[in-house]
Amino acid sequence: MTQALKIIPLSGLGEIGKNMTVLEFGRDMLIVDCGVKFPDNDMYGIDLVLPQFDYVVQNREHLRGIVLTHGHLDHIGGLSYLLRQVSTTVYGTALTIGMVKRQLQEAGVQGTRLQILQDHERFTLGAFKINPFPVAHSIPGSVGLVIDTPVGAVVHTGDYKLDETPTGGRTTDLKRLRALTPKGVLALLGDSTNADKPGHTPTEQLVADELDRLFTEARHGRIIIATFGSLLARLREVMALALKHGRKVALTGRSLEQNVELARELGYIKVPDSLIVPADANVPDDRMLILSTGSQGEPRSALNRMATGQHRQVQVKHGDTIIVSGGTIPGNEGDVSRMLDRLFERGANVIYGRLANVHVSGHGSRDELLAMLKATKPKFLIPVHGEVRHLHLHARLAEAHGMRPDQIFILENGAVLATDGKRAWREQPVPANDVLVDGRLIGEVGEPEVRDRQRLSQDGFIVAMIPVNASNLLAGEPELISRGFIPAGRATDLLGAARNEIKRQFGNGVNVRQEAVQTALQDFFFRETQSRPVVLSSLLHVGSAAAQQAAAQPRSKGADADAGAHKGRSNAGRQNAGRSNAGHSNAGHSNAERSNAERSNAERSNAGRQNAGRAGQGQSNAGRSNASRANDAQPGQNRSGRDGAQPERSGAKRNNQQPKRNNQQPRSNDQQPRSNQQPRSNNQQPRSNNQQPRSNQQPRKNEDKSARAEGARPQPTQQPQKPRRGNNNRRPKNTSSS
């Protein structure tokens, strides 16, 4: 049975950007391009969008190489991410490889083999024989590819147009393309970007002539031209005009500076060194030309910083001529419009696409797509590189000129098209989702997080912290924090009403559930404001004593009442005898009147921890009084200088006694503590908090020390002091209003 060729577009279909196609035959895999896409305006915080590399990584032992068509980021920008996971050779023309090399160096990716290929060089990668052919595009060194496979030839056009008078003289070589496919073309993967534009794409020479005219008119002031940093063909033409009109050239924008430097090193841009000067050079205005990035209104671009007055070297002024020489990418219209308005406000003469022919596309229009179809006469057509409408319009163009519908495949990212050379069919798709990059987070931020960010950008958020007891019943005053929702002046009353709503719904023995709290608050805020802030709820589990004291605190409106409620809860928790530090709860008993059963448990627990050589943060010797532990061993006062290290044995040190050795056996529960006071039996009911101690005699001082050292607790002579606050026991701030 004949093996089938698989064509798998991992990305680049139904979108503009992150182009990546996999060809697979048997145990051989080839990748064409590996780009990125810039995020949409509603992808808050996202830096880049990558293809999903899982299929390639899982089959990396079959990967024979990556071949690049040109050096734009939507074709090479993903390499630094992929090459961290696979090892292979990357092929491209000199400029393309130069740009990849710089990108990998900046990303810290080392060890990748980079191979420069010539326009007419033929090379083999496994089952694939690759023949590049020159194409005209907006960046030098662009090629299309003829890929011979055992079942037929596949043509990948890359980005192209049929420009007969391009800047630099590089045309799309259809003659060579025909010569490379004498047996016909099995499948054409054709650029569809301008499938909705009739006729031919204007020649780059038209832009050069228009810029020449504008240079002549702007003879008395500076000229500032903004374009894409990678549009090297345009940059080369602008520098030639600067020489013609006697102007110096200043570069501003990191990507533009790097690309011009690389193009000069490789000989694509040939200008004298004296032509290029710093942006703040002392050059007369009528002799200065500034090349800048920012034709898309990017917030951090050089031109946008000029528009907002934040550029450190260039301030826009009356008499400046600003030419925006770059087509607006769909989705960027709003950013570009705001930037243009600001430039006009600063007194500049701003010229952009609707006013003059200062930009032409690097992609072919419908007549050029038809010419490619006629030159290749493919058995199967796969429209690529375009949004959904572009793919369909390309398909309809082919149908209108003789191709049958069953010969045309409009695919989606991850689709698998298999062919044996005679027929073609779809197979099970592979994973091909967007992978979002947010700083160092690669793929960790997904659609749910993006949706949350979109919601946060619309109505703000509310954080609700609900104290509950062990039975999940309301055990205190709810706390609400608001950000980006309502003005601070109205927050106090509205959040106070929201607290009352929580207490009304959950204050009568109703079990508190996190989802129910969120739903109740969402409904409440929508009733009151007709807005839907994001509501985040958290249940804070507290002991019963702390909850009772916190719930007993009266609460009035305003920050003072919030602070008082915080103080009541915090003190109640601290009087609870280091509940969190010792690992057991003393809820419901005062520090002076713990039952013997609780003391015995504390003795066993603390002695066991000493034997194990571990002291939790803030723990002291077994049997120390709760008030002493709270005062002397608060969290954050560990003097060892290391989290989790052994803290001071404060009870033993105050009595000048050595701490117990780690191999000492813990005292059993029925062992009598060395104290002048006999303990109550374990089954004795504890006294309530308002009962007086049984003993009318105050213990002697030495007995008090002995009791503290050995684990028995003396009868208190006064109320225990409030514990000192450590770093982890600060009183919470009042956060009830935004």
Residues that are catalytic: 191, 363
CB-CB neighbours of 397 under 10 Å: 20
Residue 21 vs residues 104, 134, 369, 412, 423: alpha-carbon distances, Å: 21, 20, 20, 12, 20
Indicate the angle between helix axes 204-217 and 232-244, nearest 10 degrees: 40
**Residue 687 CB-density burial (10 A; 0-12 exposed, 13-18 middle, 19+ buried):** middle
Identify the DSSP state of 357.
Answer: -
Q: Tell me, what amino acid is at 197?
A: K
Q: Which two tokens stand for residue 479?
A: 């706390």
In three-state secondary structure terms, 57 is helix
Scanning 89-168, the segments in alpha helix (DSSP H) are: 94-107
With b for 16 or more beta-carbon neighbours within 10 A and e for fewer, the 558-571 pattern comes to: eeebbebbbebbbb
Residue 215 vs residues 212, 233, 282: alpha-carbon distances, Å: 5, 18, 20
With b for 16 or more beta-carbon neighbours within 10 A and e for fewer, the 471-487 pattern comes to: ebbbbbbbbbbbeebbe
- Cβ–Cβ under 8 Å, residues 133 and 143: yes
How far is the C-alpha of 615 from the C-alpha of 606, rounded, in Å? 8
- The CA-CA-CA angle for residues 123, 124, 128, to 5°, reads 125
In three-state secondary structure terms, 323 is strand
Indicate the angle between helix axes 254-265 and 94-107, nearest 10 degrees: 130
Indicate the angle between helix axes 366-376 and 388-400, nearest 10 degrees: 60
- Locus of tokens 């719930």: 551
